[in-house]
Amino acid sequence: MDRIEAMKVYMRVSELSSFVKAAESLGMSKAHISNIIQQLEADTGTRLLHRTTRRVQMTQDGMTYYERCKDLLADIEELDALFKKDAGRLSGRIRVDMSTGIAKNLIVPRIPEFLKAHPGIEIELSSTDRRVDLVREGFDCVIRVGNLTDSGLIARPLGKFTVVNCVSPLYIKKHGRPKNLEDLSEHFLVHYVQTLGAKPDGFEYFDGEKFQIKKMRGQITVNNAENYLSACLAGLGIIQAPKAGLKEYLKNKSLIEILPTLKSEPMPVSLVYPHRRHVAKRVQVFMDWVSEIMRDYIV
């Protein structure tokens, strides 16, 4: 048995908590994955995984083995790349997650230039409004917008997105254009919540001393960024969103900025990656490239 490949298989099973999902991810049969894990446990002399009909979990020894595998494989990868002077020779997969807006408007249009410089790299790009589990789902890095919760992950601050207030021409035609804070009592907000049924916040603004929230009526509540934008374009209300993701719509006049003096708090943008002693060179290069792109959109 190739011990290095066995370690990679073990890490995948542990991260996904499933032999079936690991097999699909690695392009192997479930039986082959199971045999590899059994052999690995025999060689190490300890049970690494608890198996039940519903899920697979690491044992205490398995957790220790997982962390040592992670460090060892990172060391091997770095050693392999140590004498590669040409960054264009980088190879391997990068799995990354970011919001739909960032992917569509900022990153994906520029990916061809990255792949031209690094043709040996393959990118797996996920876009979702939920917070993915970097370790369990095998992500190398994610771009997160908003305040970060304390975790065992490493955060690389990129700056902050300017947030603008927008409506569509259709909305202005139906309801007029609000000119001040008091006018908002007669207008509608597109409400955004992470979980439907939760209480939405309202319109955020800076009063000269601190950020405040003004409660507003809303005809629609959504729980993802794509529908948030679509509702605004359909004339259903005001949205407050990062200007970086709206530049195309503001340029072609399908969205109109309003109330520029009532600023919402800028949103922090961070690159987040798992806690490792060493980050693969290809991931470092990708994160540096993302940082450069984001400089044009952050304050």
The 10s digit of each residue's pLDDT in 237-278 is: 999 999 988 988 999 999 999 999 998 999 999 999 987 656
Cα distance between the two ends of the chain: 52
Integer CA distances (angstroms), 155 to 41, 262, 288, in order? 34, 30, 13
Quote the tokens at residue 116.
Answer: 């031209």
Residue with token string 């060391």: 75
User: φ and ψ at 228, to 5 degrees?
Assistant: -60, -50
What is the pLDDT averaged over residues 59-88? 75
pLDDT band of 87, cuts 50, 70, 90:
very low
pLDDT band of 161, cuts 50, 70, 90:
very high
- Strands, DSSP E only, in 227-294? 239-242, 256-258, 267-273
Quick count: other Cβ atoms within 10 Å of Cβ 293? 17
pLDDT band of 35, cuts 50, 70, 90:
very high
Give residue 15's pLDDT: 87
Task: Tell how strand 163-167 and strand 256-258 pair up.
Answer: antiparallel
How far is 166 from 244, CA to CA, in rounded Å? 13
- 165/132: higher pLDDT: 165
Share of the chain above pLDDT 90, in %: 53
pLDDT band of 63, cuts 50, 70, 90:
confident
Share of the chain above pLDDT 70, in %: 94
Q: Which residues, including other chains, have CB under 8 Å from residue 178's CB and lie 6 or more apart? A: 184, 186, 187, 238, 258, 259
Q: Which residues are 144's β-sheet partners?
A: 270
Q: Which residues, including other chains, have CB under 8 Å from residue 69's CB and lie 6 or more apart? A: 7, 10, 11
Give residue 36's pLDDT: 93
Name all domains of the chain by residue range, CATH numbers in brackets. 3-81 (1.10.10.10), 87-152+271-294 (3.40.190.10), 163-265 (3.40.190.10)
- 227/88: higher pLDDT: 227
Q: At what angle do helices 30-44 and 19-26 cross, to 10 degrees?
A: 110
Specify the 3-state DSSP secondary structure of 27.
coil
What is the pLDDT averaged over residues 120-124? 89
- Summary mean pLDDT of the chain: 88
What is the pLDDT averaged over residues 277-285? 80
- 80/117: higher pLDDT: 117
Lowest mean pLDDT among 1-15, 204-218, 259-273, 275-289: 275-289
